[in-house]
């Protein structure tokens, strides 16, 4: 797992952070932690990952401190799509679809808290 050192991560200019959410204890909610583990095992130049588990809001301080140019939030969701599908959502979509969550806070609140520290948030 890389961290930012002199504006670089894994030998490349800092590109961003992938913040994942979910629980390996719930097989249908493990997409985030599985991706985080894969990124730790095979780091991407310029990127590092934070496995936020069931409480990704606990990692807000690190994200704000690093001020990534891009933050990618990854979480499993029941969206009536085929298993393994990926969908990009904007903040308004996340707010509407996150009334029920397995996390302590909905991701929309997490996004609002971090957006002043990131140039671009992808969820």
Taking alpha carbons only, the member of 74, 52, 61, 72 closest to residue 117 is 61
What is the mean predicted confidence (pLDDT) over 53-81?
87
In this predicted structure, the answer to whether residue 94 has a pLDDT above a threshold of 80 is: no
- Give me the pLDDT at residue 104, please: 55
- 76 band by pLDDT with thresholds 50, 70 and 90: confident
In this predicted structure, the answer to whether residue 100 has a pLDDT above a threshold of 70 is: no
> How far, in Å, CA of 10 to CA of 74, rounded?
21
> How far, in Å, CA of 26 to CA of 116, rounded?
32
Residue 70 tokens read as 């891009």
SS3 28: helix
β-sheet bridge partners, residue 16: 47
In this predicted structure, the answer to whether residue 63 has a pLDDT above a threshold of 80 is: yes
Proportion of the chain above pLDDT 70, given as a percent: 83
**Contact yes or no for 77/97 (Cβ under 8 A):** yes
């Amino acid at each position: 797992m890389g961290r930012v050192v002199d504006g670089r991560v894994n030998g490349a200019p800092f590109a961003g952070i992938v913040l994942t959410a979910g629980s390996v204890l719930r097989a249908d909610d493990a997409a985030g932690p599985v991706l985080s583990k894969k990124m730790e095992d095979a780091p991407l130049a310029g990127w590092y990952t934070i496995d936020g588990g069931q409480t990704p809001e606990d990692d807000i301080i690190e994200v704000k401190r690093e001020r990534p140019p891009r933050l990618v939030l990854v979480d499993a969701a029941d969206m009536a799509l085929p298993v393994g599908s990926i969908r990009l959502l904007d903040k308004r979509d996340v707010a509407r679809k996150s009334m029920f969550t397995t996390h302590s806070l909905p991701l929309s609140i997490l996004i609002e808290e971090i957006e002043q520290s990131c140039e671009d948030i992808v969820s």
